[in-house]
Structure formats: structure tokens, C-alpha cells
Structure 1
Amino acid sequence: MPDAETTTAVSQAIAAGYRSIDTAAIYGNEAGVGRAIAASGVSRSELFVTTKLWNSDQGYDSALTGFDASLAKLGLDSVDLFLIHWPAPENDRYLDTWRALETLYAEGRVRAIGVSNFLPDQLQRILDLGGTVPAVNQVELHPALQQREVQEFNAAHGIITEAWSPLAQGAVLADPVIATIAERVFRTPAQVVLRWHLQQSRVVIPKSVTASRIRENLDLFSFELTDADLTAIDGLERDGRTGPHPATFNG
């Protein structure tokens, strides 16, 4: 979302009770996030801020420089989670980039480091370095694209799966299976899908600029889906990727 719009949306989210905020260098809105944090009146220690390094900044030295640029735009002394945004395999710089992230972690400038959009073979190359295990792998994940192999690899190595585009940009919300469950539990289709994620131990980062939906997306803890509901939503897998493929996207 545009930088100015970001300030309003993040301010509304913090006021509603959100404490995790996800941004990235390529979004062009780190400054807007920083303004909202500064004006929130909420202690920095209560907020969990994630940002991501863009592909053009990969490499050891350039990753450190990219991190400094993000930090300056955010107006913060540190971030809670710093991610490599894409593996960009053709460039093949993500191992050197990972070493830079380990340096930032060792210096205490980030609380945790991880990756985004990494496939198991790409993750394995990082693990083979023998250093820090990524805390998080943030991937496109929703009922139409469940990334089961990625989730299984993450779980086997203690890596948290975080879902971006958890609602498939709204594409799954009209599905009859989800609509039927939503009607039965007196919740919206979006709330049902987000609850499906949470009950399967995934972190979710839904995006909205609408105040009412920002509040709605947080109202997930007063109901539960049954095992049958979870299984029914699991059955909606159709390889419905909406974004680029990590094996071929280089930015």
C-alpha cells in the first residue's frame, strides 16, 4: 500500500490491538510504518516489526547496507525479524546474504532472522552452512495453495511457517465450502480462513486498509473450527498460486 496510506492503516491496526507489523524495502512504505509506530504511544517493546531485504540488495556488504537503509526509513534502532525477501536463484547470492543476516543477529540489531518464499532445497543450502537456522519462512499460503512440502520441511527443522496472502487476495472467500462454514459459525469467510491458519499453527499477516476489516481480521479467538471444517478447507488445494514462483523469480 502507498506510504501515506500505510501510516493510517498501521495506526488503526495498532489502536485495534495488533502488535505484529510486516513491511519490506520493496513495498516503499517503511517510512509510513515508522511514522505510525512513533505516533502510536505503544512501547516499542510491545511491537514486533518485520521487514525484508530486496533482491537487488543481496550479497554480504549490500545486505548490510540495505538493512541500514530500512532501519533509517523505519526510524528504529532494531527490528524484530529481518528476512531475505526471495531466494532469487539465478543471482545465487542468498548464502552470502544469509551470512550478513547472521552478522546483524550476532550484533543484536535484529532479534531474529529468516527467509521468505524459500523452497526446501533452497532452505537446505542455508542449513548446510551449519550456522543459524532461519526462524521463519514466510510463503504464499492459503486454502488454494497449501505448500505442504514446504510446511513439512519447515516443521522438521523448527522453522515457523508464516503465510502471506493468507486469503489469496480474497480469491478463496467465495468458495462454497468456506461460505457454508462461515454461515454455520456466524463469522465472515475471511475470519474462517484466518482461523483455519491459526488452528494449524501458522502465523498469518492479513493485509487491509479498511478499519472495519482490520478489526474483523483480529476477532478470531472467540470461536473454533471443527476437525471436519479443517479437513474440508484442506481439500480446497488446487495449486492456486497468485504470486511468482520461488524457483524462477529473480526480481
Structure 2
Amino acid sequence: MREENSVKLHGMWASPYVLRTKIALKIKGIEYEYIEEDLSNKSDLLLQYNPVNKQVPVLVHNGLPIAESMIILEYLDEAWTDPPYLLPKDPYLRAKHRFWVTYFQQVSDALGQALLAGGKATEDRMNDYWKKLDVAEDLIKEIFSDGAPSFQDSKPGYLDIMFYSYFGTSDVVKECFGIDLLIAGRYPLLTSWINALSEVPEFKELTPPKDKLLQNLRAVLPKYMSKKAAE
């Protein structure tokens, strides 16, 4: 017999995808056991729970595995139905939040391609990244009808968590690559949003230290570039 409401999370401390899940669990008030994975020597359990992608995070609820961070966050809202809610109850607003999460994933993909391109390709792809952010700065105002976001009287939700996972550690990227991901003068709303999220206790508590993240990035980047060059 499975233990009722047994929750385990397989993750890796530096992963932004794992960070999403940790923050969501914290906001929902869900207690869980955390299992740190060595991604260079993945455990048999991780491979068993996620045989398709073999990646973290994997949430195991009462022995049943759920993979992929975006899916996990939606699952948490559906399995734990008490507030606070990660997604709005209104179907239209839920759809808009999901749309923007998908769009920010495209922005993040454009950034990743730019950072790893090198030379003239970097400039061209960074321009594509800036243009995508221009669209977000202009149109996401519909989500924040009352102006710049504040979380003094409310908990962050699904869209907030996802946005933070993309831009919450931009200072690490700036120090490593010399690129400012959010230029305050060009993106005042997006900048105020990430600044407000950075002050939320759950986010501050769970975000790994900058120096540790920077050390990890500088260690794994050459290995990734060598692998990419060999493909």
C-alpha cells in the first residue's frame, strides 16, 4: 500500500527547471522529500521514473512519477486544490498565462542560441532575442492591468514562477557572458516584475547563491561547447 500523500522530488540544485518545482511546492505548502541527482551518473530510480527524457525534475506522488516542470506545476494545482492557486481559476486567464509561458520559452530558446553561437551569429540572434522581448514588454501589460506587479498581498503563481526561472539569475549570465538580459530602460515592466519576484521570500530562500551558480556554469559550459562542436 502506498503512503498517502508521499511526495518526493528528484532534482539537481542548479537546474532552473527544478527551481520552478521547488518554488511551487513551497508556495502550495506541500511537504516533500528531496533527492539530489548526479546528472553525470543518474540513479536507477530517475531512469525508471523518466525513461523518455532521463532528466530532472521528476515529482513522485504516492509512487506515481510526473516529469517536466511545466506539467508538474499544473499537476500540483490539480492534485492540491486548496489555495493558493498557481493558475487563475478563470479559463481565459489560464489560457493567457499558458500562452505567455510558451512565449517566454521561445525567448529563452532564442537567448540560448545567441549565447552559444559566437561571432556575427551572436549579434544577429541577440537582435532576435531583443525583438521578442520588445513584444513581451508591449503586450504583457494585459496581465498587469493595475500596473507593475507586487506580491506584498498575494502569492506568485504559475506565470511568475516560470518567468523568474528564465530571468531570476540574469546577473549570473551577465557576469559569465557580459550580456544584460533585461535592460531596465528598454524593459521597465519586465524589469520591475523580476525585481518584485526577487524579493519574494520563497524565491529568495530557494534560489541558489550567485557565486555557486556562476562556478557551476563556468565548469559545465566548456564541456557543453565541446560536445556541441563534435556533433
TM-score of the pair, normalised by structure 1: 0.27
The structure richer in helix per residue is: 2
Q: TM-score, normalised by structure 2?
A: 0.28
Task: Name the one with the larger strand percent.
Answer: 1
Q: Indicate the structure whose relative CO is greater, using CA pairs within 8 Å and at least 6 residues apart.
A: 2
